[in-house]
Each structure stands twice: as C-alpha cells, then as structure tokens.
Amino acid sequence: MPKMVIETCSVEWLQILDEDGICDEELRPPLSNEEIKKLFESMVLARTFDEKAFKLQREGRLGTYASIYGQEAAQVGSAFALRPADWMFPAFREPGASFVRGLPIHMILQYWAGDERGSQIPEGLNDFPITIPVATQIPIAVGVALAAKVKGDPIAVMAYMGDGATSKGDFHEGLNFAGVFSAPVVFVCQNNQWAISVPLKRQTAAKTLAQKAFAYGFPGIRVDGNDVFAVYRAASEALNRAKAGKGPTLIECLTYRLGDHTTADDASRYRSREEVEQWKTKDPIRRLKKYMEKRNLWSEAYDQAVRSNAKEKVERAVRVEESLPPPDPRDIFGFTFEELTAELKEQMENFLKVDGKERSESKDVLYG
C-alpha cells in the first residue's frame, strides 16, 4: 500500500498594525476611538510601572523584579479581550494584564517586595496570583476551565506563559488535557525569544511555538506580539471559540524582552546590542501612537496628560505599598488548612515567644 497523507497543519501569521503605524483596516478589530485610547493608556501605565519598579529594585526597595519592557501589547491586548467573569492565570511577567483586569497596582509592588499579601487577590476578581515556578499555572488553568465546562458556566480561561514554559512537562500535559477534554481555555505564550540566557533555537527545532497546539488537536496561531490590534483580535476570536464549546487555542505572541530576564540578570553577556536595538524599532507603544496620530486621536497635550496620570497612579501605589503595616506573622501558619492542626498550633505558639515572653506586636515578632 502506498503512503498517504492523513493530516496536515498550517500556522497563520497575523499582523494588523506595522512598525510605521500603517494599519490593515479590514483586519482591525471593531474598537471605538475610546477603546483605542484605553489600549494606549494601559500600555503607557504598564511601562511607567515597569520603569518605576526597576528603579525601586535598584534602590533596595523591591526584591528581584522581572521587567516587561517591550511586551506591553501582548499583555494589554490579550487581557483587554477578557470579560470580568473570565479567569486569568498569569506567570510572573504580566502586570500589564493584571492592571487591565483591575488588580490594584500596589499589590504587584507588595509581591515583589516580598510581602505575600500581594498574592491575596481581591474578592470578585477572577485572577490567580503571580506564579514563579515556570509553567505550573498551565494545568491548574486547564482544570479551572474544565470545571467551568462541567458546571455550564459560559466563561473562558486565559493562561499566560513565556517561551521557556513550552520546554516544561506542565505545558505538554496541560495542552494535551485541554485538547482531549475540549476545555474552554486560551493559552497566551509571550515568545520573547529568551528563556533567561537560553535562545528559542535551543528550546525547540519547530519553526513556531504555535504549531505545538496541532499535536494536541486544536488550533495555534502566531501573531505580532508588538501589535496590540493583532493580539486583541486573536484573543477575542479564541475566547469566543472557547465559549462556543469549540475548545482551546494557543496564541504565540512574537515579541522581545528588551530588558534583562530579571534585575538579577545581565543580558549583555548572551545577546548583542544590535539585536536589542533592532527590536526597539518595533516598540508597541510607539507604533500605536503613530496610528493614533494619523486618526487625530493623539496630540502632545494628550500624551503628556496620559503619562502624567500614569506616573501619578504608580507613585500613589508606591506610597500605599510602603505605608502598609508589616504582615501578621501568624499568617505563616493560618492559610494551609481550614483549621490549624495541633502541630501547627504548637509551632505558632513557639514562634510567637521571644525570650520566653509572648509578643503581641507583629513588628516585635518580625523585627525583634
């Protein structure tokens, strides 16, 4: 018997807005002028936060921080497509998405300052906290999506990851499970092309990351991750598909990490200055600004007001975070079980005794 082709796959590339602000209006999603401005303002806020967080870390006021410089469109465009009832699972480089969702800015600062209360998501916000262990949020997101399907909730789940996550077993197990059970989940991979110092070519021999979805029985698409319109359109279509019972989608946002992996990294040791400068020409904020100028949606006065407002919001968040009282040390013991076990009670009692005396003040326990 001759060989036969029984299956083929193809990966679409979607770009709507190019580096010069030239837009394919036929492909542009139906966004109002106010929504376009909101996208711009959200990206400016994300970058303003990023710049401030970097400075705070250098001043010793934050711990290690993971910059989002250059990846604002991938986060803002995708999160903008979510509805309040949908669930969002970040990795650790998604504050832009979190701000679109309504997470208070000071909570991201809390987290990176080492205060775990920054992970205490406000009631009514369907987001999970920051996830540092790479790819571990993926199977959890799939489980939440499957639970929603079983319950008949008309919602979808969005799970973020970096390109490095696609080299982890959690990624493959999560996507396989999602495909088999047709879970209403959208996987957003921010392919910034570096997993710390490991380039994409050392992670996969595949031409794209999007094509990995086909192995698990659902579509994958690669979009220009610096094009906020393309990201929003792809995310909207994938979310609608998921809510219609048609299963998951993998969106690969091709972007670039303009900064170091974290503030504990020196990217100049493994990549060239020329590569970074080339990607700066693809800046997501600048290209949307150029488009808005053509449509008379942008002016110097508007830009100054947007940046001033963003700076004020971030500075206010810094003041809030740094004025918070220290956490109660009892929290170390109080959130594992519904009720403290006898062993944990004993540990807490011993922990709270300093020099044989009971200390009632949290700061005394924490700082002596």
In tens, the pLDDT along 208-236 reads: 999 999 999 999 999 999 999 999 999 99
pLDDT (tens digit per residue) in 108-117: 999 999 999 9
Average pLDDT value for residue range 324-334: 88
pLDDT of res. 358: 60
Average pLDDT value for residue range 333-342: 88
pLDDT of res. 334: 83
pLDDT at 368 over 80: no
Average pLDDT value for residue range 81-107: 98
| Residue 61 annotated in active site | no
pLDDT (tens digit per residue) in 263-315: 999 999 999 999 999 999 999 999 999 999 999 999 999 999 999 999 999 99
- Between 352 and 360, the more confident residue is 352
* Residue 329, Ramachandran bin (φ over 0: left; ψ between -120 and 50: alpha; else beta): alpha
| Residue 233 annotated in active site | no
Separation between Cα atoms, residue 94 and residue 128, nearest integer Å: 12
233, 241, 261, 287: which is the annotated catalytic residue?
261
| Residue 270 annotated in active site | yes
Residue 332 binned pLDDT confidence (cut-offs 50, 70, 90): confident
pLDDT of res. 10: 93
Percent of the chain past pLDDT 90, that is, above it, reads 90
106, 233, 257, 287: which is the annotated catalytic residue?
257
pLDDT of res. 356: 54
pLDDT at 362 over 60: no
pLDDT at 181 over 90: yes
pLDDT of res. 335: 81
Residue ranges of domains in the chain, CATH in brackets: 12-20+29-323 (3.40.50.970), 331-367 (no CATH)
pLDDT of res. 190: 98
Residue 329 binned pLDDT confidence (cut-offs 50, 70, 90): confident
pLDDT at 367 over 60: no
Residue 29 binned pLDDT confidence (cut-offs 50, 70, 90): very high
pLDDT at 154 over 70: yes
Q: What is the 3-state secondary structure (H, E, C) of the chain?
A: CCCCCCCCCCCEEECCECCCCCECCCCCCCCCHHHHHHHHHHHHHHHHHHHHHHHHHHCCCCCCCCCCCCCHHHHHHHHCCCCCCCEEECCCCCHHHHHHHCCCHHHHHHHHCCCHHHHCCCCCCCECCCCCCCCCHHHHHHHHHHHHHHHCCCCCEEEEEEHHHHHCHHHHHHHHHHHHCCCCEEEEEEECCEECCEEHHHCCCCCCCHHHHHHHCCCEEEEECCCHHHHHHHHHHHHHHHHCCCCCEEEEEECCCCCCCCCCCCHHHCCCHHHHHHHHCCCHHHHHHHHHHHCCCCCHHHHHHHHHHHHHHHHHHHHHHHHCCCCCCCHHHHCCCCCCCHHHHHHHHHHHEECCEECCCHHHHHHC
pLDDT at 355 over 60: no
pLDDT at 363 over 70: no
pLDDT at 15 over 60: yes
Q: At a CB cut-off of 8 Å and minimum separation 6, what does 223 contact?
A: 13, 14, 15, 230, 231, 234, 251, 252, 253, 254
pLDDT at 365 over 50: no
